[in-house]
A and B are shown apart, each in its own frame.
Chain A
């Protein structure tokens, strides 16, 4: 059997090529022979179209703008001694009316009639595309006729395949998996862009989400899924019209979204205006043709469709120019968008060439090229959107980094200014007011000789001196850092109920003046904080010198705090900034109800 079949094919090829060479007019159409190994065949090779031989060089049927009713005749012979079940599948899901007739008892008898003007229940089998069952008895030769009715004035393109039942089933399920994958990715992209829209409140992402939804609807109506799933028994809505509507809305959304992505409003406002006008022209032509002036346009469909195609092409060129211009602004986004755009445009252009002029075949593995191209388009557009979001977050991060840096810088200058001002006031108190008080005291002593006034002035002298010292340790170099810290702790112990214990273990004496001043102010600040917030009884302040670094430890037995949840107050930021300024390291370790330990390490 197989050998027979092989021979038959060789002979067929020879005859065909010979026919082509000699330009034979009397080309005989072959009968389709079916044996047990039969998988599929393209009907056009075995058919007569409208009663004459096909001179179609493509492997699909193309009926141009003019004629309305078309018929296809073919013969099939079953070589088997078993009955054969075959399926006749149309790749075009939007044919107005299809009838299958069989030659029986000297006349063609109608088997089934279906089409988009009929309800789904009229479909011979449940399938997204139109398909007919053909059953052949053992060794039977069947003569069939297909009558195709197309929309008035529009061309019709479809390939018709005859498949064995098993191949039909396996191919259908593979196609359904591919479609499922497409809608899975679409759904993810929609969810993602809606989420981004919710977070960022930028209409681009909402437009993108709606675009994917309508693109999905368009693909579903083009592949026949939509009418199978949603338009079950409804006759109210023409199934060809929803296809047109979805494609127009998708186109509109795509163009709007592309203008957003390319920031056309900012960078190329004039081009955007032209594109907007072209878009309105495109959509009005299509909507008018299909929804309002159907009868009038029917006579001039080819004219209007050609007009539509040329306007569309102009718009494609303009958007391409926009992309090229946008490369300068954002290379990465532009590149990704270009890839998506190329897929979209190639899908649409091939589909136009196929449906409008029958020039190229766009059906691969049972699904149209535009299905694959829009799949890849969505993939790359989603990448583009992800990149857009990343750009925004990068910008925000850079901004917040800058803010943190600015804040640190401001704090640094704030502290520096505060220190300078404190130093000035302290000096003023100590030197100027102190000196004047001394003079006053001596004057009172020598001239008035009043013990009480004298003591009062002495008291004021002491207060001024202490206050001056508290405000700023301007005399650290004179007094010595360790002595100053010792005085500070002693003072705190004597003034409050706190027990402050200061110890010094070989703390270096040769630290710079600034380091000593900052450390002193840190100790002051920490002790102040403990006094204000910690509710402590005992504080340890320890200075310890090592070979190449020194440490300052301040521990209290107060109520402690949670480092992770406690907001950094100005005091703590102040301390951190001072430590950073002298190149030290600050470690705070505190737990609720078990005190706080502050460990500062500074290089020597």
Chain B
């Protein structure tokens, strides 16, 4: 081996996991475990003191959120490779780790093989390493791309509005409070991106909302 072994810092608060990781790396000449940190607040100071090459980061550390730690590390020490090691198998968390320039994402129950492959991968390339079996098809649920869905109560209110009834009349007809009707009405307008009842009548007639 020409290169010196890579120095690893484990950020993890469960001793059993730490022990498991250390036992894995004991047999690996390419990697050397420098130390471990259990407290989220002490990660940055330990990095300064020990100067590691790679960080294995748990997202659920006491005192400081893993994502915030990742953000700070990449801000102050962009050269350090960070692999997130977590229990969460969630698309949007993966997305966030990518967004904060993390280098890899592994599940805690990954195999030793997967772990070593991830380490090799992040050291050699800049490609984000995604562990086996992790969902990555992020579904964006926000915004108006979503199909508009009108609830049953909202449909009742729309048909009352179409009859030209005002809020107090609708409240009386549907046996609900004026405030409830008003809120439903505003929700409908917001969903349909319109501002008054005339727009609503136009829209319903054009798009045949109820058909």
Residues of A within 8 A of B (CB): 427, 430-432, 434-439, 441-443, 445-446, 457-458, 461, 465, 475, 477-480, 482-483, 486, 501-507, 540, 542, 544-546, 551, 553, 555, 557, 585, 587, 589, 591, 595, 597, 599, 601
Contact = CB atoms under 8 A, between A and B. Distances in A.
Contacts of A430: 60, 87
B92 interface: yes
B112 interface: yes
17 contacts: A430-B60, A431-B14, A431-B87, A434-B87, A437-B109, A438-B20, A438-B107, A439-B17, A479-B88, A483-B90, A506-B190, A544-B187, A546-B186, A587-B179, A587-B180, A589-B176, A601-B183
B175 A432 contact: no
Interface in B113-144: 141-144
A445 B66 CA distance: 27
Nearest to A505: B191
Interface stretch (B29-37, B42-50, B75-83, B145-153): B145-153
B158 to A, nearest CB: 14
Interface in B10-67: 12-14, 16-17, 19-20, 24, 59-60, 65-67
A551 B141 contact: no
Nearest to B65: A477
Nearest to A504: B141
A434 B96 CA distance: 22
A446 B23 CA distance: 11
A443 B20 contact: yes
Nearest to A435: B14
Contacts of A446: 112
A559 to B, nearest CB: 14
Given A504-B141, A505-B146, A551-B187, A438 B175 contact: no
B156 to A, nearest CB: 10
Contacts of B141: 482-483, 486, 502, 504
Nearest to B188: A544
A503 B149 contact: yes
Contacts of B148: 503
Contacts of A501: 149
A589 B187 CA distance: 16
A506 B142 contact: yes
B111 A442 contact: yes
A591 B183 CA distance: 19
Contacts of B60: 427, 430-431, 475, 478
Given A503-B149, A544-B191, 4 more contacts: A506-B143, A542-B187, A551-B183, A587-B183
A589 B181 CA distance: 11
B108 interface: yes
- Size category of the binding interface on chain B: 35 or more
Given A478-B93, A486-B141, A438 B187 contact: no
B88 A475 contact: yes
A329 to B, nearest CB: 46
Contacts of B74: none
Contacts of A589: 153, 174-176, 180
B177 interface: yes
B6 interface: no
B7 interface: no
A-B pairs, 10 with minimum CB distance: A438-B108, A435-B14, A438-B109, A439-B20, A597-B153, A540-B151, A589-B176, A555-B151, A435-B17, A434-B87
Contacts of A445: 111-112
Given A430-B87, A542-B151, A504 B190 contact: no
A550 to B, nearest CB: 10
Contacts, number: 127
A555 B148 CA distance: 16
Nearest to B186: A546
A446 B25 CA distance: 13
A461 B92 contact: no
A194 B47 CA distance: 86
Contact of A480 (B59, B92, B107, B144): B92
B187 to A, nearest CB: 5
Nearest to B176: A589
Contacts of A545: 190
A442 B115 CA distance: 10
B184 interface: yes
A446 B93 CA distance: 28
Contact of A597 (B65, B107, B112, B151): B151
Contacts of B12: 435
B146 A435 contact: no
B190 A442 contact: no
A389 to B, nearest CB: 35
A461 B153 contact: no
Contacts of B88: 475, 478-479
A542 B184 CA distance: 11
A536 to B, nearest CB: 11
A599 B143 CA distance: 21
A401 to B, nearest CB: 24
A435 B108 contact: yes
A519 to B, nearest CB: 16
A591 B175 contact: yes
A600 B152 CA distance: 17
B146 A503 contact: yes
Nearest to B60: A431
B67 A553 contact: no
A502 B142 CA distance: 11
Nearest to B189: A546
A438 B88 CA distance: 12
Contacts of A585: 179
A366 to B, nearest CB: 62
A341 to B, nearest CB: 53
Contacts of A553: 151, 153, 187
Nearest to A594: B152
A504 B142 contact: yes
A437 B109 CA distance: 7
A434 B65 contact: no
A595 to B, nearest CB: 6
Contacts of B87: 430-431, 434-435, 438, 465
Nearest to A502: B141
Contacts of B89: 465
Contact of B152 (A475, A477, A507, A557): A557
